[in-house]
Structure 1
Amino acid sequence: LNCPPGIAPLTFNERAVNKLRNRKTRVANWYLDMTMLMNYWGGSRTYHHTAPINMNYALREALSVVAEEGLEARWQRHRETAEQFWSGLEEMGLHCHVAPENRLASLTTVKIPDGVNGKDVQRRLLEEFNIEIAGGLGELGGKVWRVGLMGYNSRPENVMMLLSALKIVLAK
């Protein structure tokens, strides 16, 4: 959606609402207690929290941008830029961690080549090119980079800039 994190609109059908209302165990987390949140909108208007109004406006604007572009056109753009990125990586001799049939268009995990300090590459991309990529998490820590091409960043010119910067950093 290309908006700040911090808000998650949810919908529940009647069956799910009944399941929530009739659960046998207590919800362990107050903040995510959907039964309390449902009362926030009910007749009693039981206060639960102050809604992040700025996040509502950010979500509204992000959805407006999506509607303007068209959902299917947006999906297509993300697919095309992901394929451009994957091809560029292959041309550089780099490999994706995930098989092609299982890849996401919005997030690519790139195998860090043997002998390359992944954190050093991340630092240099940020310092020299103002491009931030993330390292792997958990068992993939130090083994992959995570590169997001989402929203506005999912554009051919941004992919070319990233590939060019990566090529320069890896050459040194």
Structure 2
Amino acid sequence: MSRLVSDIFREPFGNLPSIAHSAIVDMEGPILAAETLAYLMQQPKTPNALSNLVDLICSYLHGRGGNSPTKTDIGNAQALKSALANWNAALLAVKPPAAKSIVRATDSVLKQILELTLGGDPNDDWIAVRKVLAKGDCARLKAIAKDVRNVPHR
């Protein structure tokens, strides 16, 4: 509930100005989201960058609920891991990955981040990467972009 109110203060309705504030929320999700965003700020170009990103997303899904991850989050993490295994198997076999793979959206957002020109200012770069996550096609990365807004970055 705190996060919902905080989001409304941050992005109010109509012509109302945003309200600067600090929200008190459970930090498991935001901290794991920040770890993912920090990884992406490095613009990883190694062959295993997508696999590393999927691992971070799965860690986020498993940990964002604290000691009690939801069945949905556990299922989403398992589905993502399985889809990544199929994705990598297709690439190893020199075949295109499945067109409807749930990894495709994650890969697309990763490619967008790799195309960003980051300026070296951690605050500006943090915001730039977060915006790409928020606007991308990957629902899991959108959730991370939303959660990471609860982490002070200045």
TM-score band w.r.t. shorter chain:
under 0.3
Query: What's the TM-score once normalised by structure 1's chain length?
Result: 0.22
* Higher Cα radius of gyration: 1
Bigger relative CO (Cα 8 Å, ≥ 6 apart): 2
Query: What's the TM-score once normalised by structure 2's chain length?
Result: 0.24
In proportion to residue count, which structure has more strand?
Answer: 1
